């Protein structure tokens, strides 16, 4: 499944309505750790309608996930 934020193919369904009604599902991305519901508005889940400022590009991901900028995560 494709992530609506970083466009990686590393998203998965993490949860669904406990009554099995299909009322909602929760999706998560293993790449950027973004989560979204199946009930989100179109401007959140539709790339063509999404504000480009909120799109996570590979360049932005390098900046966000640069572990050298987080001293406690350096090994």
- H or E element at residue 44: helix 42-45
Domain spans in the chain, listed from the N-terminal domain onward: 11-73
Model confidence band, residue 75 (pLDDT cutoffs 50, 70, 90) = very low
How many CA within 13 A on the CB side of residue 52? 0
Per residue in 7-66, pLDDT (tens digit) is: 889 999 999 999 999 999 999 999 888 999 999 999 888 888 888 877 877 777 777 666
The pTM (predicted TM-score) of the whole model is 0.73
């Amino acid at each position: 499944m494709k992530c609506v934020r970083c466009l990686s193919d590393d998203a998965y369904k993490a949860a669904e309505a406990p009554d099995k009604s299909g009322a909602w599902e929760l999706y998560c991305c293993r790449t950027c750790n973004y989560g979204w519901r199946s009930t989100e508005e179109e401007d959140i889940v539709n790339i063509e309608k999404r504000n480009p400022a909120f799109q996570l590009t590979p360049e932005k991901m390098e900046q966000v996930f640069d572990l050298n900028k987080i001293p406690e995560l350096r090994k």
